[in-house]
């Protein structure tokens, strides 16, 4: 049995909303798991059920070999970092960190030792006497993590902790969280709606949609091999391009091009997915793109244009190229770098 085990976990709210559908998931000790999905997909609910802040309607949650369903959150030995940090506003940083330890009846010297160690690790030693209201966003974030670390819990839970920070700080804190988790080695679950955050942090990723885990795997597996239209659209930035097409006898026909010898026995209406970074310019390419807008990012350009009736088709070109509005580009798809999905079910068919 793995460290954290979710078995057919279901959450139905009293008003009848089904937030989580029979979700099963195993997380290994020391693993960094990320739940990613659009808002309202049930990822936070799932996390809160692990924490014990939401009742479980059906199913079992096992942590470290112990059934957690009826265990009070205070007894679960889990620590959580909240979106708004939920620091204790009337306590200074030291007491914020020490509060959980005090409740466990740990003696004063040990508490002081532990708080100081955690503070040093997070570089907040200088602020220990300050109140949370006197700290910057990044410092508050650190205190919130310190409060989790200091208790040395079985599992860390992060509920979108970076969404209140500005872009630069978010990237910096993302890095710090990852480093910290590797250093401390605590099993962690991180909830986010930001797919870049998810990709960079995760050992394994669970893409959640409508209360169901659509796909589970390492970030790169999911990026390279999305199993459904939803996952393909959600993971990757800029978003994957989607085109309507037909698949018949291993031949895919889109509006103005065909791809032959496709490795699929499916026949019928499909959606073709191509990532912007999997296109290359070539003479006599499959796709002719009429450029409408170019976003220059320096390292590369994001070129948006039109193919016949399809708007906002995106192509990522190397940064040294100069492409202007009005140009027509001839593009090919890198070999086998396309994804075909059943149009009605969204399931991958190639």
Residue ranges that bind another protein, judged by CB under 8 A:
51-53, 72-74, 76, 78-80, 82-84, 86, 88-90, 99-100, 103-104, 133, 147, 151
Considering beta carbons, is residue 51 or 310 the nearer one to another protein? 51
Cis peptide before 238 (omega within 30 of 0): yes
**Cβ at position 197, least distance to another protein in Å:** 20
Query: How far apart are CB 92 and another protein at their closest, in Å?
Result: 12
Q: Which of 341, 197, 217, 40 is nearest to 207 (CA)?
A: 217
Torsion of CA 113, 115, 119, 120, to 10 degrees: 10
Q: What is the C-alpha to C-alpha distance for residues 155 and 145, in angstroms, rounded to an integer?
A: 12
Is residue 208 a contact partner of residue 191, using CB atoms and an 8 Å limit? no
Cβ at position 133, least distance to another protein in Å: 8
Beta-sheet strands, E only, within 13-94: 18-27, 32-36, 58-63, 66-67, 78-81
CA–CA dist 270, 13 (Å, integer): 36
Query: What is the closest distance, in whole angstroms, from the C-beta atom of residue 74 to another protein in the complex?
Result: 4
CB of 55 to another protein, least distance (A): 12
Cβ(259)–Cβ(248) below 8 Å: no
Return the number of the residue (84 or 163) whose C-beta is nearest another protein: 84
Write the DSSP string, 289-332.
Answer: EEEEEEEE-SSEEEEEEEETTEEEEEEEEETT----TT-EEEEE
> Which lies closer to another protein via its Cβ, residue 82 or residue 330?
82
For the bound state, the minimum distance from the C-beta of residue 6 to another protein, rounded and expressed in Å, comes to 19
């Amino acid at each position: 049995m793995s460290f954290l085990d979710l078995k057919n976990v279901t959450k139905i709210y009293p008003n009848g909303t089904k937030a989580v559908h029979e979700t099963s998931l195993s997380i290994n000790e020391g693993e960094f798991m990320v739940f990613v999905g659009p808002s309202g997909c049930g990822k936070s609910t799932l996390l809160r059920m692990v924490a014990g802040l939401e009742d479980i309607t059906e199913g079992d949650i096992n942590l470290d070999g112990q059934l957690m369903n009826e265990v009070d959150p205070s007894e679960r030995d889990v620590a959580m970092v909240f979106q708004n940090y939920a620091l204790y506003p009337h306590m200074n940083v030291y007491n914020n960190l020490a509060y959980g330890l005090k409740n466990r009846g740990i003696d004063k010297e040990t508490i002081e030792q532990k708080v100081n160690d955690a503070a040093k690790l997070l570089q907040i030693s200088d602020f220990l006497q300050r109140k949370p209201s006197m700290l910057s966003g990044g410092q508050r974030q650190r205190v919130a993590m310190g409060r989790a670390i200091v208790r040395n819990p079985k599992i860390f839970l992060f509920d979108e902790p970076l969404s209140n920070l500005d872009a630069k700080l978010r990237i910096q804190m993302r890095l710090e969280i990852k480093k910290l988790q590797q250093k401390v080695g605590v099993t962690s679950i991180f909830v986010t709606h930001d797919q870049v955050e998810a990709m960079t942090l995760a050992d394994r990723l669970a893409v959640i949609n409508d209360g169901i885990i659509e796909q589970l795997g390492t970030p790169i597996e999911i990026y390279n091999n999305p199993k459904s239209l939803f996952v393909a659209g959600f993971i990757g930035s800029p978003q994957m391009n989607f085109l309507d097409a037909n698949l018949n006898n291993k031949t895919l026909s889109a509006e103005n091009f065909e791809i032959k010898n496709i490795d699929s026995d499916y026949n019928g209406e499909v959606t073709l997915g191509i990532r912007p970074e999997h296109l290359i310019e070539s003479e006599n390419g499959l796709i002719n793109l009429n450029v409408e807008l170019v976003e220059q990012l320096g390292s590369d350009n994001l070129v948006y244009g039109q193919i016949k009736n399809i708007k906002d088709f995106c192509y990522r070109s190397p940064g040294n190229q100069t492409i202007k509005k009005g140009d027509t580009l001839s593009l090919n798809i890198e070999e086998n770098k396309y994804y075909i999905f059943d149009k009605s079910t969204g399931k991958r068919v190639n």
